[in-house]
Structures are given as structure tokens and as C-alpha cells.
Chain A
Amino acid sequence: MEGSIDYEQAGLRVGLEVHQQLLTDQKMFCRCPAGLYTKSHDGVMLRHMRPTLSELGEYDGTALMEFKTKKNIVYLLHKSNVCTYEMDDTPPFIVNRRAIDIAIEHCLMLGCDVVDEVHIARKQYLDGSIPTGFQRTAIVGVNGRLPFRDRELTIIQVSVEEDSCREIQDRGHLAVWRTDRLGMPLIEAVTGPELKTPEEVEEAILLIGRVCRSTGHVRVGMGASRQDVNVSVRGGRRVEIKGVPTAGQARQLVHSEAIRQIELLRLRDELHHRGFRQPSDIGMEHIDITTLVADFRVEALQRDTWERFVEAEQMRPGMELAEGPFSVRAIRLPGLAGTVGRACQPGRTFAHELAGRIRVIATLDQQPILVHSDDWPDYPGGTEELAEIRQAACCGPDDALVVVWGVESDTVTAAKEIQLRYADTTEGIPHETRQALPDGCTDFERILPGPDRMYPDTDSPAQLVTRERVQNLLVKLPDPPWRREPRYSAAGVSTETIHFLIRRGGARLVDRVVEETGFDLRRACLFFGEELKGLRRSDLAVDKITESRWCALFEQMRQLPVLWEARRQLVEGLVDEPKLSVEELIAKDHLGEEPSGWQTKVNEALSAATARGLEENKLFDTVMGQAMSVLRGRVPAVRVVHVIHELQARKNDNG
């Protein structure tokens, strides 16, 4: 089901959770350097995660799910960017104060009320992304607002937290993580579920990005900011799409998710219509059919297809692979014929929902992960083979059949997950975290963790935030985008350049230069927002120039406007001669000084060029070029032009 849908009618509601890495020297809870990524490792560690029961004797849904997967978790360590804290062998050091300050700056820019005491909590994650099994996180501000289009978006909270490991591999029962990123400080800004269309989502993501950049204290580059998007439709339930890479991709993802939820609600209604009203109404039986299908032609179910897969993927029993024999399992779903093949996301069916669970929880990931009766593979003899399997599984005409394969224990887990997924559907849309796929669809990642999995981090003392500390940060706060952008616009700067300046941090430098020197804002924007790009591209090390030298340069250019015309030369000088002051650079080439008798020299050049017999139009260009190579930055070009034209006219008059 492609194409457009009426989002308003569907009751689409989207909220954002924007994660942004903060620009600090050290990590959040230890003194390792932040932002030092490495590709190699000098130590390896093996761990497993166990869920903790709640006092009611229940497991949090996510925790239980992760425990079922029985993952071997391997961490790659590099001594330059992790210490025993990241290894979960040392308690946390006192939280990075600068990280809290930058978080407060974000709170202020987003109009939040900053809390009086920051209490650090533990948010449990059992997928192995954090060796302790939980992320340390704390609320810094609440009750904010973001001016957006003709209204305001609610900012529910801004929290500060530590970043997780980077996933290197997740195959079968083995997950491998790199620890370099672990522990880097992040803020998370959470909006209310108030965005109404995919376009609004994209716009809001970009706007929040500009807000973060406006503080000037965030990291830029790949992975420095990530967003999770929470999507629900009327009658549906909040689903979190995790790790949306760019604002542009958010549009398609939100669209696909809206469709998925609408289709799942329709499937729910169909299930109710068929008499499956609650989870316990879903039945399931499974049998082993390994021997039955041994000679069948459907390739996916063949033992040697599996063995080739295991060998190609280098899966080892006890590590990636569970122990036990290969098994093909037929799963009968009474009364559910036709539901497996129902459309779900654009280009996908409900079978994909089942496959997602099987892949993650049963860790069976050999494509196509399952085959089913609503859409049995098309090959000669296929119909007969399907019929045989259905008979062996005692399937009646109203029953659906799903077949999975792999290590025996995993196939049994898969059968149970299929039943659970259908059981969830009788209630509507399961609470899930889904991962973004490149084609704009999503796939299951984990059961959405509840607030229940948070508890205080007793290792960390609470941090006091006085109103004085907040005030000190407030007075130094740069303009948020909605104040800066109109200001720049009014000066005649294009939106594209404004956004570039804010995204790349140049806006802060522009504001400083303009504030300190009184230089013209529009020109400063064009210089830092456009010209500098070109200079950088021609390999000029302009980023080495300090802010105070830029200010000194612009101060000189303000005082002596003609210097502006020699700015390229001056910038080169700033790069090549870091020991010279701006005044010395100017004096060295006599810039700003009009040489005496220059009109005469121009006249001589004109005569010489005329004598060479150059045509009229080429004449001007040649002489102008010659003149400016000497006079640039010393005599305004417009005056040279005027003089040349005058001399030309006189010559013509004289014949």
C-alpha cells in the first residue's frame, strides 16, 4: 500500500528524541578523552547480561527478551580511549561538570526550567550496548518550548547521559561492540508528540539540530547527532524508530510506520472478526519436519544450504551458534490462514513482522528467515511439497503454516515468538523499538522498554545546580536560531547560508566579529558562510586562524575598507605567517597605502597595451589586471576602473 495517506485522518502523532554529543575534552564519568575513535583494539572482554526481576517477580519486557536471546557479548578495548570504568570494573568518577553546563545551555536555549538537583539514574539495556547493562542518565531541564512554524512544540525534558558502544557485529548468539564511543556525554531532548506530518518531522529535526549547533558546544560529524522518532496513529501505540540517520530519511520512515500501524489495526480487527479477541485465543503447534523435507526442492529448508551458510558466516557453536542439531520446524497457526501474507509496510507483509522477531529473539538470521503458506516459494513441485508439509503439521484449510529452520532450540524459540507476535496483534500495535532501514521501512529491534527499568545510580552523588550557575551560563548564551535567523535575514543573507553558518559553527564567529569590530553583518556572513568554503577547498588551512586574529583582521578592514578587496591575500598571510600581527601583515605589503603616482603608471600600462595593438575590450581587462595586481588593497578597484575609463576616453578623444 503505497502512496499518500491523510495523516490528519489517521491521527498521526510524532515526537522526537534528539541525541547530540557534547563538545567536552573528557568523557562523562571518567577521564578518558572524548571523541577519540579507533579502529583497532588491544584487549577483548566477554560478558553476558541477566535481567533483574522487579519486586513483583516480573521481568521488564525488554530485559526478558534480551535474556531469551542468550547472547555472548564481546567488547573490543583500546587503551587510548577506555579505562576500567568502561569495562565496568571501576565505579564512576564524579560526573563531568562541563557536560552538565553544556546540557544547561541546551535547556536554556530550549526554554526549559532547570532542575535544582541533578540525580543520576540507571536505564537498563541488556543488548550489550553498555557493559554495565545500564546507561547512566539524568534529567537536567523540563517544561521547555521550541518555536516551530506558527506554534510551539513542547520540550518535555532535556537529559544528559553517556553514549553507548558502537556495534561491530550482531550475528546469531554473538554480538561484538567497540568501546571507543562508550561514555561520551550526550544530551537528549524529548519533544511532545505534536508533529503531524512527515514534512514537519524533517523540519523539526533540522531545527533542533540548529539549536544544538547554536550553543557552539556540540560535536559535529558522522554520528554526532542521532534522532529517535516516536510514531503513533489513532488507536495505535507509540513505536520508537531508533537511530534515524538524517532528517530527510525521517520523512519516509514516518510515512512507512504510519502505514504499518494502520495495517496492523486492520489486521487486529480481522483477528477479532475471526474470534481471536485476546492474546490467549491464539493457538500454536509445532513439529519437527527435518526428515520430511530432506529431499524437498525448496532450497531454504535444506540442511546443506544451512551448513554452507554457517561456514560462510564463520559461525561457531558456543559463540555465534547455539549448540544442538539442525532442525526444520513447521508451525501451525489455527484459523489464521491468509493473515501472514497481509500487506503491512510499503512493499512488505505481516510475515516481515514475524521474521523481525525471529531474527532478533531466536537469532535465526539466514534469509528469508521463514517461508509460509500464504506465499509459498514458486518452483516446480512447490504446491505438492507445501501440501505434504501442511498434512504433516495437521493444517486444515483455515490454518496458516510457517516454516523456520536452524539450530533446534532456536527454532522452538521462533515458534513461540510467532505465537507471541500474533497474540500482541489481538491488542493492536505492540510497544516496540524499531530500526530504520535504508529503503525507508523499519524492522523490529526490541520490545520498547518501560519506565520501569530505571532506578537510581547509588554510585553517584546528586549534583547541585544553583540558580547562580544557571544565570552565569545564561548571560553567555548565544542567540537561538529563531533570534539569529531573522537578524541575518534582515541583513540580506540567504536562508541557505544562514543554515550553513549555524550548522557549521561559523555563526558564532560571525557574531563575535561583528560585535567586537562593528563590521557589516551581511559581508561577514558571506565571507564566513561562502567565501571561506572556497578558500578551504583550495587547501588553505583557514581553520588554523584563531578567532582573535579574525577579529583583528576584520577590525582593520572596517577601519580601511580598501583592505577588504585584498582579503584573500590577507587570509593567506594569516595562515602562512602566524607569528606576524595583522598590522604587520598589512604593513609588509603596504596594503591600505595608496602609492604615489599610480595614475601615471596605469597610463603607461595603457599606452603599452595600446601599442601592442590590443582590441578595445581586451585592453581594459589587461590593464585592469595589471593594475590590480599591484594596487589591490591599496586603491579601491572602483577608482582604478574609473581612472582607466577616463584615460581610455581621453586617448580616444585625442584620436
Chain B
Amino acid sequence: MAETTDPLKGYRGRARQRLQELGVRVWSEVRILNDQGSTFEGVILPRSETADDLHVVVKLATGYNVGLHIDRIREVEELGFKEAVYKIPEQAFPHSPDLPKVTLLGTGGTIASRLDYRTGAVIPAFTPGELYGAVPELADLCNLTTRKIFGVFSENMGWEEYATLAQAIGDEIQAGVDGIVIGHGTDTMGHTAAVLSFMVQNSPVPIVVVGSQRSSDRPSSDAALNLIHAVRSAAYGDIAEVQICMFGPTSDQYGLLHRGTRCRKMHSSYRSTFRTVGDIPLCRVSASDFGPLTHEYLPRNPHRRVKIDPVYDDRVTILYYYPGMKPDVVDALVDQGYKGIVIAGTGLGHVNKPVFPALERAIAKGVHVVMTVQTLWGYAQMYVYDTGRDLLDIGVVPLDNMLPETALMKLGWVLGHTHDQDEVQEMMRHSYSHEITEREPHNGYLILQGGLPETEEFVLSQWK
């Protein structure tokens, strides 16, 4: 949130001019009379950048906002002026010597917030004192430290941010923390969790990435419960890996811990959007207990030495294949200097024949081409059909059941180490953190179709 000293924040063009003429500004407490004799008493609010330049927004004493057309304003009387100061009075986070130490790293997004009711603004709560005010339960769980690493919408995260984050994690582990929580926007949480699984290996403690689907200013938000689950998992959980913690069902029942390399956002808005793909989640977590679903994880061990490896080459991309794709797309990528292409191919990892020569050209020029499946679930098994075999011969590297987004993150990380074809291939096919699994259990793919009697019966018998 960039602070601006512009007294007419957001107003431009005709509306700006009118406000200047009337001698009032944003945060002025005013009484406005319009051309029909109606009076509006309240505070002038900033104008949204995407709104027009013909209206003034006023927050009335009743709490409602209205937009008034500048041509209809006859008189304005300034009754007062009170600058909005978005700072929350601090309460100290209580310290208990027996409780574990957890650090919350902030990347952006609002895991907790407060409301300035006078102006309607949502103010992020981030320091331990602010978080304690919003989610007091945290004080019963741990001694919390917070560090804001950066403040970006998660779609604006990038390689530099990943490296910085990995480094920060290393610093915290060095300082002897018992667990790490990372607050993150949900759009690219899966990408970050995947890349951190490579950049941070052999962790002694849990590293839990968390966010919220519904903004934390709402009474119904999943933020508080997600945060409580994540902090519990970081403080008391046994899984010393990078994991995502978000809602299980959409009901307030339990959260799920998902391995960072196999977790994907599967719905644009549902609370229950994050799912483990091609396997089962690691653990169920509630406000009072853990329910591990597997024993295949790296257990907590304070003596383990973490390996921080924040290297990358950002010249990597995903190509989502479609029928009729022309080879020039691949050529263009190569000519622009990309060094790694992840293909999300159809079926068992296929593209059409016309693209083959372009792939050959790419590989000959030292570009690394790897194959994943668009279907997300299932393996790229390229030896089954001719198409796949031909692609293998060309030198496309099959990535079995690695998710396309995870493959992209991994390829960028791998290329930060080497560009040698054999070394790259070996690293890509070596599974560091279950990004490739040898076996897909029958319950790794469970997409139930709605409308069928048995599904409806099941759904009705559970909290959604």
C-alpha cells in the first residue's frame, strides 16, 4: 500500500478540479447540498483509480457510501478534517517460556486485518501485537515473531522473491526457530511451495505456507482458522517439509497439510480449493489435534542441517499444448532465449508431429525440453505410443507424474545449477520431495461427479 501525500487521493480530471474549487479534500468532514436540496453529511473518501472522474465518494454518518455527481453539488461546508492514520495501537504478544518459537514470514496478502470504520479501509494486521489482537488464540500456541519479507500480490511473486524467501527461511532456522509459517496469497501459493521444496532441503523444522481464500476482514473468513492450524503445525507438527495448510472441506472443520510439490489450487474461489494431486495429503489438522494420513515424510529433527540452495535461471516457461499448435511457437521461445520449456502435453505426454522439428531444433540449441501431462493426474508414459517414443528419441525428458507448475519451478531451479544436458536430465528426474512418485495409489485420483445418487448421498452425509 503506497502512501501518497496527494490531498485529493485518486481524484482526477473534472472531479479533482471541482473539489479544488470547493476547497475540500479527501478526509474532509463535510455537509454537501445538492441541486434537489438533499444534504449529505460525512467524510470524503479517496476515489478508486478505475472509477470515472465525475463523482465524489462520501461516507455518510449512517455508515453507507454514496457517489455524488459533481454537477449536482451546489454547496459544500467543511465541518472538520481528520487524516486517516492506518496504524493499529499495539498490544504486546504475550511471552511464555515453555512454548515453541514460531516465526511468521510475510510476503504480502492479509492473513489478519482490522477495519477503520470511519473510512471503511481494511488495515493489515501483521506484527505479533497486531496478530494477537486479531487471533488471540495464537498466544496459547507459541511465542510468535513476525518478519515482513516483502508485500506483493502473489501473482507478482517471482524468482528473485523465491530466492529471498529461501534465504530468510535459512536465517530463521539458523536462529533456532521451532517452526516457520509463511503468509502468502493463494493465487501462486502452489508455485512458491514447490520451488521452496527445492531451495530449502533437509529442514529440521516444519515450514508451513498459509493464506486465506476469503479476505480476513470478513467475519466468515477462513484466515484465522488457517493461521491457527498453520501455527500449530509449525510449532507442534512432526513434518519437517515445505507444506501448504488450507481448509479441508469448505466447512470450518479441519485443515489439510499438503506436500509443497504436489499441491495445486483447483478452484478459483472455494475455501477448499487446495488439493494434493496424484496422492493423498500429509495430515489433517484441527484446532486441537493432528491426524496424520501417512508416515512417509521427513520427521522433525532439530539436529538436521538444512540446505539452502536459492539458485535459479528465470529463462524457463510452460507451453500448454493444444491441437493445431504450430512449431513457430516453440521457435519463438527458443529465439527469445528461453533455456527451459515445460510442455503440458495431452494424454500420456504428447504433442503433434509438426512441432517435432521445432523441438529438435530447440534441443540442438541447448534448450531443455521436459514433458508433463495437462490432465494433472496420471503419468507421462511416452514409451506407450509412437508419438511419445518419437519425442523421447528427440530428447524430450519425461517427468512422470510431476505437476506442470512444479516442473516449471524445478526446471528454473535446476538450470540455476547447470546447463549440461545429462546433469539437467538427472536432476529433473530425481525426486527430491515426492514431486515424482513411483506409485499412484487408487485414492490419488478421486474426482467425484455431482448429480449421481451415490455421490449426492455421500455429500449429504458429510459437512461440505
With A46-B253, A52-B218 already in contact, the answer to whether A142 and B88 are too (CB < 8 A) is: no
Q: A133 interface residue, CB < 8 Å from B? A: yes
Known: A42-B456, A55-B86, A451-B63. Contact between A143 and B36, CB under 8 A?
Answer: yes
B114 with A52: CB separation less than 8 A: yes
The minimal Cβ–Cβ distance linking A442 to chain B, given in whole angstroms, is 24
In the complex, A456 Cα to B40 Cα: how many Å? 17
Contact check, A55 vs B116: say whether CB atoms are below 8 A apart. yes
User: Which of chain B's residues 45-59 have a Cβ closer than 8 Å to chain A?
Assistant: 48, 50-52, 55, 57
Q: Are A46 and B252 in contact (CB under 8 A)?
A: yes
Docked CA distance A117–B73 (Å)? 13
Contact indicator B269/A90 (Cβ below 8 Å): yes
Q: Which chain B residue shows the least CB distance to A449?
A: B63
Is A116 in the interface zone, CB < 8 Å from B? yes
Interface residues of A, count at CB 8 A: 59
A63-B463 contact, Cβ under 8 Å, with A45-B250, A53-B133, A54-B115: no
A31: min CB distance to chain B, Å: 16
Interchain CB contact under 8 A, B36 and A57 = no
A126 to B376, CA, bound (A): 40
- The number of chain B residues with a CB under 8 A from chain A is 66
Chain A residues within an 8 Å CB radius of B38? 113, 142-143
Determine whether B375 belongs to the interface, using a CB cutoff of 8 Å to chain A: no
A371 CB–B CB distance under 8 Å: no
Please judge, given known A-B contacts A119-B57, A455-B117, whether A47 and B64 are in contact too, CB under 8 Å: no
Q: Tell me if A215 is interfacial: C-beta within 8 Å of chain B.
A: no
Once the chains are docked, how many angstroms separate the CA of A45 from the CA of B464? 5
* B2 on the A face (CB < 8 A): no
A53-B134, A123-B63, A462-B51 known; A133-B218 Cβ under 8 A? yes
B122 at the interface (CB under 8 A from A): yes
Residues A89 and B269 in contact in the complex (CB < 8 Å), given A56-B89, A157-B62 = yes
Nearest CB of chain B from residue A455's CB, rounded to whole Å: 4
* Bound complex: CA A57 to CA B129 (Å): 11
Whether B64 and A48, one on each chain, are in contact in the complex, defined by CB atoms closer than 8 angstroms, is no
Q: Is the CB of A55 within 8 A of B114?
A: yes
Whether A44 contacts B460 in the complex (CB less than 8 A), given A55-B88, A126-B219, comes out as yes
Contact A132 B218, CB 8 Å, known A46-B252, A53-B133, A119-B57: yes
Contact A453 B220 (CB under 8 A): no
Tell whether B158 is near chain A: CB-to-CB under 8 Å.
no
The answer, yes or no, to whether B144 is at the interface (CB within 8 Å) is no
Q: In the complex, A143→B40 CA distance in Å?
A: 10
Q: Assuming A43-B459, A452-B117, A455-B120, is B252 touching A52 (CB within 8 A)?
A: no
Residues in A whose Cβ lies below 8 Å from that of B214: 88, 132
Q: Which residues of B contact A115 (CB under 8 A)?
A: 66-68
Quick one: given A44-B463, A51-B219, A54-B116, are A121 and B34 in contact (CB under 8 Å)?
no
How close is B247's CB to chain A, nearest CB, in angstroms?
10
CB-CB contacts below 8 Å: B1-51 with A: 34, 36-40, 48, 50-51
* A/B interface sample: 28 pairs, CB < 8 A: A42-B456, A42-B459, A45-B463, A46-B251, A48-B225, A49-B220, A50-B219, A50-B221, A53-B115, A54-B114, A55-B117, A84-B269, A84-B270, A89-B213, A89-B267, A89-B269, A90-B269, A113-B37, A113-B38, A116-B67, A119-B64, A132-B218, A139-B66, A157-B64, A451-B63, A451-B117, A456-B120, A462-B67
- A-binding residues in B (CB < 8 A): 34, 36-40, 48, 50-52, 55, 57, 60-69, 72, 86-89, 91, 113-117, 120-123, 125, 133-134, 213-214, 216-221, 224-225, 250-253, 267-272, 456, 459-460, 462-464
The 8 closest A-B pairs by CB, nearest first: A117-B67, A133-B219, A454-B63, A451-B63, A455-B120, A116-B69, A143-B38, A119-B65
B-contacting residues of A (Cβ < 8 Å)? 41-57, 60, 63, 77, 84, 87-91, 113, 115-119, 121-126, 131-134, 137-139, 142-143, 157, 159, 451-456, 458, 461-462, 464
